[in-house]
Structure 1
Amino acid sequence: MAKQKINHYSGIGGQAVLEGVMMRNKDVYAVAVREENGEIAVETDHYKGAGEAMGLTHIPFLRGVFVFWDSLVLGMKALNYSASLFGEEDIASSKDPIAEEGKEKAIMGFTTVIAFVFAIALFMILPYYLSSLMESYIRNSSVTALLEGVLRIAIFVIYILLISLMKDIRRLFRYHGAEHKCINCLEAGKPLTLENVRESSRLHKRCGSSFILFVMVISIILFFFIRTPSVPLRIVIRIALIPVIAGIAYELIRIAGRSNNIIIRILSAPGMLMQMLTTKEPDDEMIEVGMKSVEAVFDWKEFLEDSFGYKFEDEEKIAE
């Protein structure tokens, strides 16, 4: 049996995609998707981010900027693959696959940039604009700065609630839950079985939802102390500080994923509450997809043996 010890860092992470789960372990990632015929398609590939290519992944705070961008790029790539299994033409069937692949990369890059700009406008610029409308009524600049932060969080929550009304997004949130359950199962020292994953929590401290909430809280603190009377300069500062905020948030989420002390649990609590909105309980078929994705990139038996002293050979002998 495994030793009862929790919160071992596995190093794997991922995201939900259309009818599936993407898991990444170092520079290897896999996308597992439940196809319309009921079969699970698994695509495995390598992805080396810009930070890794330049050797910057070991520099605190700076690495978070590259991890954030790489997550966006890889996430879009995984989503595009899952979408291609539901009616879109396969690149391999094209007369010129190289040209089609280049076109796909260009579209993916453009889509990522548009999504990034939209996020900045919605979660950075809009809260500032709304809070600035109240400056004539609220004379205290500190209160206005706090109001901007509260509005930023409120807009994010409203955004999540609105998109969760869509059927496809609700299913995406269930696959998000399956992703978390698989990782939590292993990091709690349990074999990756359907029953164990089903009983695991759908909330995880390294979740992207928690990261975004850290970003918002850190932005409140920084914008509270960094002020200027120039309106255009205020907007420029908010945009310019995004890499700094992302770098700090990444270090916090990284610590949260490796520690379980009381302080970390308190800091992680708001993000865990946010995940009540961004994750939902998956069914067994969704869990199976998540398990396939994990198995494609991660030797979970070796992980349990090294981290928890689990003896699979002894169990196999007993079963015989």
Structure 2
Amino acid sequence: MKSSNIGGQAVMEGVMMKNGSRYAVAVRKEDGEIVVKTDSHEGFIKNKKILSLPIIRGVFNFVDSLVLGMKTLTYSAGFFMEEAEEENPKRRAVSKEEQEKRDSLIMGVTVVFSILLAVGLFMVLPYFVSNLFRRFTDSQMLLGLFEGAVRLCLFIGYILLISRMKDIQRVFQYHGAEHKCINCIEHGLDLNVENVMESSKQHKRCGTSFLLIVMLISVVLFLFIRVESPLWRVIVRILLVPVIAGISYEFIRLAGRSENRVVEILSKPGLWMQNLTTKEPDESMIEVAICSVEAVFDWKAYLTENFGKHYEEERREKP
């Protein structure tokens, strides 16, 4: 499989695809129409030297992904709030510029809150839970392993819990459509509904795999990095979050490009987790995902360059 530069994300009733700094959001409205928006997203760090540094680039890419994800999710959700806006005269009276400022503020607060909540729930809480067992053992190794087990159980339990929500199940279907489109292209197949439906819904560069790798790497690091002070144990866990995210990013990046047997084996847990976060999409969802891909990625040129395929240019009749 030849890796491409395209990546994506599921949104409400749609798919976002990103290629370099360009991204497209395709959303199917309630009347069945597919709306596609294309734009560019420049990260908050513009220095290319910094963005080329291993591990460090992973931290900035992670934050940028969160920001873009919230931005596109807000955009897609906006289509399903139009009725509420029409019924609310106060909201109609707000200018577009004022509304954009409000949305930006809400998005920023949400991203910060999400990061703090994730760090608290998956990094700090497991430590305090493991402390309850200090009365039974003094082994730092056993306590570290128990902390890691709690962390993994919380993560998997959270995924299982949200996967039962009806709206999230549809998002997971669009998530599957996103993966299927990328796999279709990277396996040298023409991007059409039939080929995409036959493609796998699992992909090694998935965000689910990234998050699971974060959990696993944290277990290893916290086992070997030890401090005596209970307060510093908490502080160290917080300070190491960017390092863990950076290492995880490097692994996911390597996994997406490598066919090494060891890397393939290490990628398996993330692919298994994707069985929870990706569902089989229907053809209408595939159509939306294809629209998103074609808005930012020339898949025919990619197949020509990497698989030797050739496509005749479409002849347009002159008026």
Please report the TM-score for the alignment, with normalisation by the length of structure 2: 0.93
What RMSD over aligned residues (CA atoms) do the two structures have, in Å?
Answer: 1.8
- Map of 2:256 onto structure 1: 257
Q: Supply the distance in 1 between the matched residues of 2:283 and 2:67 (Cα, whole angstroms).
A: 29
Matches within 5 A, 1:70-85: 70-85=64-79
Q: Work out the CA distance in 1 between the residues paired with 2:148 and 2:225.
A: 14
Residue 162 of structure 1: aligned partner: 161
Q: CA deviation at 1:314?
A: 10
The residue that corresponds to 2:11 in the other structure is 17
The match for 1:3 is none
Question: Partner letter of residue 96 of structure 2?
Answer: P
Alignment identity in percent? Answer: 55
The answer for unaligned runs of 5 or more in structure 1 is: 1-6
| 1:4 equivalent in structure 2 | none
Question: Is the contact between residue 134 and residue 144 of structure 1 (CA under 8 Å) also seen in structure 2?
Answer: yes
CA offset at residue 99 of structure 1? Answer: 2.3
Q: Which residue of 1 aligns with 2:308?
A: 309
- Per-residue CA shift, 1:59-92, capped at 9, x if unaligned? 11110000000000000001000000002449x9
Matched residue count: 309
1:178-193 alignment, distance < 5 Å: 178-193=177-192
Q: Is the 8 A contact 1:256 1:268 kept in 2?
A: yes
> What's 2:45 paired with?
51
Task: State the shift of 1:242 in Å.
Answer: 0.6
Instruction: List alignment gaps of at least 5 residues for structure 2.
Output: none
* Post-superposition offset of 1:56: 2.1
Q: Tell whether the 8 Å contact from 1:131 to 1:144 is kept in structure 2 after alignment.
A: yes
Q: Distance in 2 between matches of 1:129 and 1:153?
A: 15
Aligned-partner SS, 2:37:
strand
2:24 to 27, 30, 34: 30
Tell me how far apart the structure 1 counterparts of residues 178 and 137 of structure 2 sit (CA, whole Å).
Answer: 44
- Distance in 2, matches of 1:94 and 1:63, equals 42
Cα offsets for 1:28-61 (capped at 9, x unmatched): 1111111100111111111001234565221111
What amino acid sits opposite 1:223 in the alignment? F
Please state how far the C-alpha of 1:93 moved relative to its aligned partner. 6.6
- Contact in 2 for aligned 1:51/1:63 (Cα 8 Å): no
TM-score (norm 1): 0.93
Post-superposition shift, 1:315?
A: 12
1:260-282 CA-partner distances (Å, limit 9, x unpaired):
12111101000000001111100
- Give the secondary-structure state (helix, strand or coil) at the position aligned to 2:203: coil
1:261–1:85 CA distance, 2 compared to 1 (3 A) = same
Q: Does the 8 A contact of 1:94 with 1:100 survive in 2? A: no
Paired residues of 1:64 and 1:251 also in contact (CA < 8 A): yes
Aligned to 1:205: 204
Please report how far the alpha carbon of residue 230 of structure 1 lies from its aligned counterpart in structure 2 after TM superposition. 1.3
